[in-house]
Structure 1
């Protein structure tokens, strides 16, 4: 398939495909007699995989390392597994951090949905600080 077809099927721009090829994240395409790049359909699964690595935040240097290992064949499977396991640990930590942030957002949204009955500790502390600054806090400051 030509680069335009590959771009349409993957959602990448032709420029990005050429860039990935130049930095060796993608193998060089064969050239047709017209000198246009010709890509085999098997490249689609590789592009999907590197897209997922990118989405999970894998640095391009690690993607390049993985691509070099992959190019060397089955003898590098252990190294590739280790690289992916390390990245998976990073992704899991990031997901946990995002889940904690989501819980804070959910609590905040729930608080705003029922302002009369729900107040977060942060909101209460801020209201108390304001009252102290304005001299409105009663005995004990609570």
Structure 2
């Protein structure tokens, strides 16, 4: 699969994909005889994983550490698990914070809706 196809498939720019490869987030991508990147299904799974983790807010540095651990083999399974647990805990905290923010926004919007209704009632009474 070409970089253009991968870019379209995952909704990432080609520059972003090249950057991920350059910093080691995508393990070595094979190239064809012309030197053009030839992404495999395994490469695509890495890209999908990275995109998912980035959208959840994981820092690039954490993902680099994770990929490095994966490349070191099975002796790093516990370290990988610990890293993912820590990131999950941080994500849970962010979700809780966002839920509180959402509740506050909903409250404020409801107050404005109530104020608009009250104002309209007042204006209607003034017209009568």
TM-score normalised by L of structure 1? 0.77
Please identify which structure carries the higher helix content: 2
Q: Distance in 1 between matches of 2:37 and 2:117?
A: 65
- The 3-state SS of whatever aligns with 1:115 is helix
Corresponding residue for residue 137 of structure 1: none
Deviation of residue 84 (structure 1)? 0.7
Corresponding residue for residue 101 of structure 1: 101
Q: Distance in 2 between matches of 1:49 and 1:31?
A: 22
Unaligned 5+ segments in structure 1 are 119-142
Corresponding residue for residue 86 of structure 1: 86
Q: Across the two proteins, how many residue pairs are aligned to each other?
A: 118
Matched ranges for 1:44-83 at <5 A: 44-83=44-83
- The 3-state SS of whatever aligns with 1:29 is coil
Q: Distance in 2 between matches of 1:65 and 1:52?
A: 16
Q: Higher RCO, 1 or 2 (CA under 8 Å, sep at least 6)? A: 2
Q: Is the 8 A contact 2:29 2:43 kept in 1?
A: no
Matched ranges for 1:1-142 at <5 A: 1-115=1-115
Task: Give the 4+ runs in structure 1 shifted more than 3 A.
Answer: none
Q: CA RMSD in A?
A: 1.7
Q: Distance in 2 between matches of 1:70 and 1:5?
A: 26
Unaligned 5+ segments in structure 2 are 119-128
Q: Distance in 2 between matches of 1:7 and 1:78?
A: 33
